[in-house]
Amino acid sequence: MRAWARYLVCGVAGVALGLGATAYVLRNAALGNNIVIGPWATGRTFGSAAADPYTRAVVALKGLLALPAQEARYYTAARDSAGAPLEGRCRYRITGAALPAAWWSLTAYDPDGYLVPNAAGRYSVAGAAFPDSGKAGWTILLAPTAPPPTETAAWLPSGGIARVELTLRTYLPSDGGSGNPGADILPKITREAC
């Protein structure tokens, strides 16, 4: 093989490898991988000119049009508190404390970032679902089927899909978006059954 052909082959392979690596890295990135708190990942530069190219690319792919930190904070989880992937066929108990924001909600998505289909047509649970917006603590059950009437936790359907991701939105954070709640404040995700 001539020298120019060797360079051409390796150059084309380099382009393919670079594009493939980019697609792999971005598709497998969590939305907000700058800061990890327990099972939750977040970042402070969403929607801001200060975002680095990698964060900007991940947000464009997984959370385009996200608001900047002073307006809203986004916390995503693809794993439970023990580190295992969230599975739609399993039941998880998600327990949280008062969140320092004017309003919050927890939403379930598929890995492509779309809402999880379910017969109940329920896609999120907001703080308003709990007495005093959950200031005394709250519990959500992420599960494919509705819990029994005796269960006091709010139900968030997981649709039974293979992998589920959660996004916790806190709007108008009390600190103006300058910090993050600690691991003791952000919800704990415990797998109960599969």
Partner 1 sequence: MARWTGPLVTGALVAVATCYLAIAYTPDLLMGAAVRRVAAGGFNRFTHAPLATAASRQIVRPSPDLAYSACPYDISRGSLLIYAAPVAAPYWSLSIFDSRTNAVFVRNGDEARGKPFAVAVTHSGRSVPPGYQRVEVSGDRGIALVRILVADRTGFPRLDATRRATVCEQR
Q: Which residues bind partner 1 (CB under 8 A)?
A: 3, 6-7, 9-11, 13-15, 17-19, 21-22, 25-26, 31, 47-49, 53-54, 56-57, 59-68, 70-71, 102-103, 105, 107, 109, 112-118, 121, 123-124, 126, 128, 167, 169, 171-172
Sheet of strand 101-109, all strands in order from the earlier edge strand to the far edge = 35-37, 40-42, 72-77, 165-173, 101-109, 124-126
Q: Which helix or strand (DSSP H or E) is residue 3 part of?
A: helix 3-27
Q: Which three-class secondary structure state does DSSP give residue 192?
A: strand
Q: Give the nearer residue to partner 1 in terms of CB position, either 103 or 155.
A: 103
Q: Which CB, 39 or 63, lies closer to partner 1?
A: 63
Return d(Cα 138, Cα 154) in angstroms, integer.
9
* Nearest distance in Å: CB 170, partner 1: 11
Minimum Å gap between C-beta 3 and partner 1 is: 7
| Distance separating alpha carbons of residues 65 and 40, to the nearest angstrom | 20
- In the complex, minimum distance from the CB of residue 138 to partner 1, in angstroms, rounded to a whole number: 16
What is the strand order of the sheet 91-96 is part of?
154-157, 138-143, 91-96, 188-193
User: In the complex with partner 1, which residue's Cβ is closer, 174 or 190?
Assistant: 174
Least distance CB 90 / partner 1 (angstroms): 20
- Residue 126 vs 153, nearer CB to partner 1: 126
Give the whole-angstrom CA distance, residue 158 versus residue 60.
Answer: 25
